[in-house]
Amino acid sequence: MRLIYRAKLWLSIAGAVTLVSAVFWLAFGLKPGIDFTGGSLMEVAYAPSERPSAPEIKSAVESANIVGTLNVQLVDDRGAQLRFKEVTEEEHQAILQVLSQGGTATTSATLKQVEELHFETIGPSIGKELKRRATYAIVIALLVIIAYIAWSFRRVSKPVASWKYGVSAIVALFHDVILVVGVFALLGRYAGIEIDTAFIAALLTVLGYSVNDTIVVLDRVRENLPRSNEDFLGTVNASINQTLARSISTTLTTVLALIALLLFGGETIRYFILALTIGIASGAYSSIFIAAPILVIWEKWQRKI
């Protein structure tokens, strides 16, 4: 297949996706969860078949005027997670009373006897510290990736300098991360989806997976350069064809497993899995249709200078 011969088309598609995702991010922003803003998390469980719906739980607690607005997620077939602003112990007990049968702002037909499984409060200062550490984690991961690529391709100098391999890989990573962030900015705006430390873990996983895919392609280019009789364009195209089946099969296997988890893995990990699915699928595209085409276009520019 002559995939690399349409390098401008693939890069145009990637550029459009990146631009739209960046617009969503800048326009809507990400909706931080209590991990970053501070607040309280309560996990409760009901008797089998007696758990009310999320809107019923939300309505009952909010109508009691204890915490204002809150986020409710159902967990498995019995549990529910409630996220709200930081509360005192008195307010904590009042919420439990509301959630129990016969409590304020409830009816016996709406809410049943409830058992508290977990409760934690994260102060604003801790939330800021987690946000700072999350930023450091992403920056350090990117720096390590750049250093690794620069070291791996240090002996490649012709026809494209070794540092340009690193730049092409970072551009591919940027595309993958921005796509995930853009989707979650959209979900935060219209579905109220919050990001937490699990989202940061998903981004770091996407970075690692994407750079692995990219290095497989670029490493094959490096191996083929000394022994190929074709020009740089032909060598890159041959390298992509040689790694295409591997990239597709690996990504497809991973994504199918993630889709199974997305459908059956429960509410608590749903958006973590969604971020991984989007990022890993994007990583397969970017390794073939972004990193390699950037090298080809760069080499063409060099010949024109």
Q: What pLDDT, in 10s, does the model give residues 190-220?
A: 988 888 889 999 999 998 899 888 989 988 9
What is the predicted pLDDT for the residue at 123? 75
Q: What angle do CA 196, 200, 201 make, to 5 degrees?
A: 110
What is the predicted pLDDT for the residue at 132? 85
Q: What's the rounded Cα separation, in Å, for the pair 113 and 133? A: 40
Q: What's the rounded Cα separation, in Å, for the pair 190 and 263? A: 21
Domains and CATH numbers, the chain: 3-34+126-304 (1.20.1640.10), 39-121 (3.30.70.3400)
Q: From residue 49, how far is each of 76, 112, 299 by CA, in Å?
A: 11, 10, 64
- Type and span of the H or E element at 286: helix 270-286
Q: What's the rounded Cα separation, in Å, for the pair 64 and 84? A: 14
What is the predicted pLDDT for the residue at 108? 43
pTM for this predicted structure: 0.83
The upper half-sphere exposure of residue 267, i.e. CA atoms within 13 Å in the direction of its Cβ, equals 15
Q: Can you list the residues of the chain whose pLDDT is less than 70?
A: 68-69, 101-112, 124-127, 156-157, 305
Q: Which residues contact 192 (CB under 8 A, 6 or more apart)?
A: 31, 71
CB 181 within 8 A of CB 30: yes
Q: How far is CA 243 from the centre of its chain?
A: 25
Q: Which two tokens stand for residue 101?
A: 């049968």
Q: Which two tokens stand for residue 257?
A: 């497993």
What is the predicted pLDDT for the residue at 157? 58
